[in-house]
Amino acid sequence: MAYELKEIRINSELLAPTILQAEGSIIYREAVKNGGTIRVPVISQAHVGDILTVWLRANGSWHTDLVFNEINLGKPLDVNVRYLSFSEGNSAVASYTLQQGEDKFFHQRRVMN
Average pLDDT, the chain: 81
Domains in the chain and their CATH numbers? 2-112 (2.60.40.10)
Q: For 68-84, write each residue's pLDDT tens digit.
A: 999 999 999 999 998 88
pTM for this one? Answer: 0.78
Q: Closest Cα partner for 15 from 81, 76, 104, 100?
A: 76
Q: For 87-97, write each residue's pLDDT tens digit.
A: 777 777 889 98
Q: Please check whether residue 107 is in contact with residue 96, taking contact to mean a CB–CB distance below 8 angstroms.
A: yes
pLDDT at 40: 96
The answer to whether residue 49 scores a pLDDT higher than 60 is yes
